[in-house]
């Protein structure tokens, strides 16, 4: 006997046709298994439908406020700690080469500073060259472009910067899953 | 939702409270908590089975709701949005519990007296509550959520589907499966109830 057909009709919300109802009634009279299951479902349904709501104990919202304050304080502590760790790591990253130079170099400190400044002075012509290069490019570009195109390019650059800032803000914001 | 005229009046102020809460006003959000604490708590209780867990889950639900209020779509009822957060949180909690080595079945039954008395405090009702909780415990977490939202909150298939992020056909199928499982659990737990029914033969009140 195909119990599945009748079981599907026992637990459905869809209204049964007259013929389906008749089949089901006949089947339930003859099949003890489906009849028992049907009776069990009737009982279960009664209990489910008569079940009341369970309310929280008084002062729920006050407890929520307390929890909210505690949670916020904890979050701020965590952020402060994370910021401190990041800053400490960055500081360590930059400080380590300097520290290594100071500690492991055989020359005295004053001599190393003089040598470093002398070496840095070699960068001046390079920086000058970069400045001249960029200035030439900008001058040449401004002569080629119409004022409208120039304005459009500036607007595009500003727009991209704004999008970048918005993305940065979005990804750095706290996420809550729900 | 449970029909209550006072709540209906309060719900008119709901958009205003949401707007204020969006600006970080916790007092406005507390008004929303007062309005919906019962429905959220009841869902958590039906899902998790103890008052302590329900309290924790309901509190967490409102915290999450407050932090993610910007994601709320005003076109959708605020109540179902809250229930969605609560249901997903409870489903996650039940899944996490499975990771625990010891069985919760070994723990003693929860004492209702540990809280101030809720609405249901009589012995008969308490027995019914325990019966219901034991039956619900036999269902999978998602099926349990479907049954609770259907029988306690009178939500339509579409609303339940939206609340649980499932399709309507999946909800229908899960509800059907859950009903069969509940009836079978009832049979296993209370077999004596049906001896009389069998003797009388088939006299279904449904038809």
Average pLDDT over residues A165-173: 75
- Does the predicted model carry a pTM greater than 0.80? no
- Check if B194 contacts A (Cβ < 8 Å): yes
Give the pLDDT score at A97: 80
Q: For A54, which of B45, B194, B201 is closest by C-beta distance?
A: B45
Least confident stretch, A31-35, A98-102, B69-73, B175-179: A98-102
pLDDT digits (tens, 9 = 90+) for B134-153: 899 999 999 999 999 999 99
State the smallest CA–CA distance between residue B112 and chain A in angstroms. 11
Q: Is A12 on the interface with B (CB under 8 A)?
A: yes
User: What domains appear along chain B, each with residue ranges and CATH number?
Assistant: 5-110+118-189 (1.10.1740.10)
CB distance A61–B37 less than 8 Å? yes
% residues pLDDT > 70 (chain A): 94
Q: Where are the domains of chain A?
A: 3-50, 70-121, 124-178
**Residue B174, pLDDT above cutoff 90:** yes
pLDDT band at B126 (very low <50, low <70, confident <90, very high): low
List the alpha helices (DSSP H) in chain B. 5-11, 14-22, 26-48, 51-67, 78-97, 123-137, 141-153, 157-164, 168-189, 193-200
**Mean of the per-residue pLDDT values for chain B?**
82
For chain A, positions 110-139, list CB contacts with chain B under 8 A.
Answer: none
Closest CA to B76 of A178, A167, A62: A178
Q: Which two tokens stand for residue A167?
A: 């993305």
Res. B26 pLDDT band, cuts 50 70 90: very high
pLDDT of A2 higher than 90: no
Tokens of A72: 């916020």
């Amino acid at each position: 006997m195909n119990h599945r057909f009748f079981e599907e009709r026992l637990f459905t919300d869809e209204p049964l046709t007259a013929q389906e109802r008749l089949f089901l009634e006949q089947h339930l009279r003859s099949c003890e298994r489906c009849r028992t299951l049907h009776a069990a479902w009737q009982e279960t349904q009664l209990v489910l439908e008569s079940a009341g709501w369970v309310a929280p104990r008084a002062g729920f919202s006050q407890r929520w406020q307390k929890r909210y304050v505690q949670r916020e304080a904890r979050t701020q502590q965590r952020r402060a700690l994370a910021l401190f760790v990041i800053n400490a790591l960055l500081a360590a990253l930059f400080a380590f080469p300097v520290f290594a130079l100071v500690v492991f170099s055989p020359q005295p400190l004053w001599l190393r500073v003089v040598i470093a400044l002398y070496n840095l002075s070699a960068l001046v012509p390079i920086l000058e060259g970069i400045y001249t290069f960029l200035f030439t490019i900008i001058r040449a570009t401004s002569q080629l472009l119409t004022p409208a195109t120039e304005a459009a390019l500036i607007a595009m650059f500003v727009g991209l910067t704004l999008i970048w800032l918005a993305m940065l803000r979005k990804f750095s914001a706290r996420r809550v899953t729900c | 939702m449970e029909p209550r005229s006072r709540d209906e009046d309060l719900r008119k102020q709901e958009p205003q409270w949401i707007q204020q809460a969006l600006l970080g006003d916790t007092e406005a959000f507390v008004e929303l908590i007062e309005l919906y604490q019962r429905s959220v708590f009841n869902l958590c209780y039906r899902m998790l089975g103890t008052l302590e867990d329900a309290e924790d889950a309901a509190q967490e639900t409102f915290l999450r709701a407050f932090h993610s209020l910007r994601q709320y779509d005003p076109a959708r009822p605020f109540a179902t949005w809250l229930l969605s957060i609560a249901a997903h949180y409870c489903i996650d909690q039940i899944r996490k519990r499975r990771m625990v080595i010891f069985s919760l079945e070994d723990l003693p039954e929860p004492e209702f007296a540990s809280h101030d008395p809720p609405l249901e405090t009589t012995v008969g009702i308490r027995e019914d509550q325990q019966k219901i909780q034991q039956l619900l415990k036999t269902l999978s977490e998602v099926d349990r959520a479907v049954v609770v939202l259907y029988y306690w909150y009178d939500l339509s298939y579409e609303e339940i589907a939206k609340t649980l992020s499932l399709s309507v056909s999946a909800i229908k199928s899960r509800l059907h499966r859950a009903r069969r499982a509940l009836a079978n659990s009832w049979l296993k737990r209370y077999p004596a109830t049906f001896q009389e029914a069998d003797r009388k033969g088939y006299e279904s009140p449904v038809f």
